[in-house]
Amino acid sequence: MKDWNEKCAVVGIYNAHNASILSYYALFAMQHRGQEASGISAANGEKIFTHKNNGLVTKVFDEPTLKKLQGIASIGHNRYSTAGEDSIDDCQPIFAKYSLGELAIVHNGNLTNAKKVRKGLIDEGAIFQSHLDTENLIHLIAKSHKSQLVDRITDALGKIEGAYALVFLSRTKMFAVRDRYGLRPLSLGKITNPDGSIGYIVASETCAFDLIGAEYIRDVNPGEMLVFEGAYSKHIPIPKSIKIFEPNPKPCIFEYVYFARPDSKVFGRNVYEIRKQMGIELAKEHNIQADMVIPVPDSGVAAAIGFSKQSGVPFELGIIRNHYVGRTFIEPTQTARELKVKLKLNPIAELIADKEIIVIDDSIVRGTTSKQIIKILKQAGAKKIHLFISSPPTISPCYYGVDTPEKSQLICANHTLEEVREFIGADSLAFLSLEGLKKSIQSSDDEAFCQACFDGNYITIPQE
């Protein structure tokens, strides 16, 4: 499924001798969450240095650039736009000088009252340099009359609504915070420096910890702020925890379906095991036999393995993904859209010709990508194609940092199951139930997730 756009990665490194390099590797590990732009800010106790640009992590940074980002604290960001435009002004980190010194911010999420807050700030004389909702925070912090940065941040957070995992970097301190719902993920880890001193990392996914050898400690709690200070001491204290808001946890359930890397631990659970269980539950709900089960790579692989395990239908890698396809600068015609799918996905005709196959994908949004996948499989000679989706039908757009289309463009929100099946051209179509998804996550009765994309029940909606 390729109609969802992954939604940004953030990282913060504190008290590490090569902080900017560690941020670089963490962002590299989380490249799947955003491919439009990347940026890093580093602090050395006196000044903040920032470098950012459009493009992948490996394009934006090289060794000379990273050497210029001096300091033992740094923050970083991979961007896929949900608010803002495709320009360098809308890359993160956002940086500004203000009365208390210098400040850089990275943000994963979407502020649902951003337009209202921005208008109020402009009416009071604020001048904005970007289209980002994150820039509201710079102005709110600068306007606060509190004498300490931690109090100014708390002031600013009290004026915004929506989804956020935020990391702030001053010249000497770092702050990490999640909204009261914990919609977007943020985990805390420990770094052991070569001299034996201890540093810390916060990141959107724990796959970033694995690459740099950090030890997972716990998630940052919903409504919690962690304060990192004392960076220039060999033995810094553990981050100070401040309860900013009364927590009301409703983490995004779609992190498990698609966004997160399967080797990550998100919201305290391993993503791969959950996706495999989704495939098991899908097979329990829809008992069907065929010659083989094949995944749409890469997000459908774990669910297809689970489906094969439960159903007994053999698993095969019938579709191969080209991982080296970037953006294609051609007109968005129907021919171009079909070519885009072929550039990324290629079926093994010798394997699937004259076979009845079960295709496992993670979701259907507009339906156009699924239609093209079914088409290329039929052209490769598949005799019969059953498309099984390891999540419920997507019926509502997301306002919390996920770039979904308007409801009018969501095929499952406007058509019956049979109409969707007919449009995409599969011989049969089935979805995992919402109950099956929750069972896969093994959530307790009193544990709630944000599942507005599947049931339309929003926590908070945008304000004009």
Q: What is the pLDDT of residue 59?
A: 96
The mean pLDDT of 121-138, rounded to a whole number, is: 92
The mean pLDDT of 181-198, rounded to a whole number, is: 94
Do residues 400 and 83 lie in contact, with contact meaning Cβ atoms separated by under 8 Å?
no
Is pLDDT above 80 for 406?
A: yes
Residue range 348-383, pLDDT digits in tens:
999 999 999 999 999 999 999 999 999 999 999 999
Residue 122 tokens, joined? 């402009």
Tell me the C-alpha to C-alpha distance, in Å, between residue 348 and each of 302, 306, 381. 19, 22, 10
Residue-range domain boundaries for the chain: 9-249, 271-455
**Assigned CATH for 271-455:** 3.40.50.2020
Is pLDDT above 80 for 329?
A: no
| Ramachandran bin of 204, using left for φ above 0, alpha for ψ from -120 to 50, beta for the remaining angles | alpha
Q: What is the pLDDT of residue 296?
A: 96
pTM of the model: 0.92
Q: What is the pLDDT of residue 328?
A: 44
Residue range 12-71, pLDDT digits in tens:
999 998 999 999 999 999 999 999 999 999 999 999 999 999 999 999 999 999 999 999
Tell me the C-alpha to C-alpha distance, in Å, between residue 21 and each of 30, 256, 443. 14, 28, 37
Among the four given CATH numbers 3.30.1490.190, 3.60.20.10, 3.30.1490.20, 3.40.50.1580, the one describing domain 9-249: 3.60.20.10
Q: What is the pLDDT of residue 325?
A: 63
Residue range 112-127, pLDDT digits in tens:
999 999 999 999 998 9
Residue range 280-300, pLDDT digits in tens:
999 999 999 999 999 999 889
Q: What is the pLDDT of residue 193?
A: 92
Residues involved in catalysis: 8
| Ramachandran bin of 442, using left for φ above 0, alpha for ψ from -120 to 50, beta for the remaining angles | left
Q: What is the pLDDT of residue 442?
A: 83
| Arithmetic mean of pLDDT over the chain | 91
Cα(106)–Cα(165) distance, rounded to whole angstroms?
8
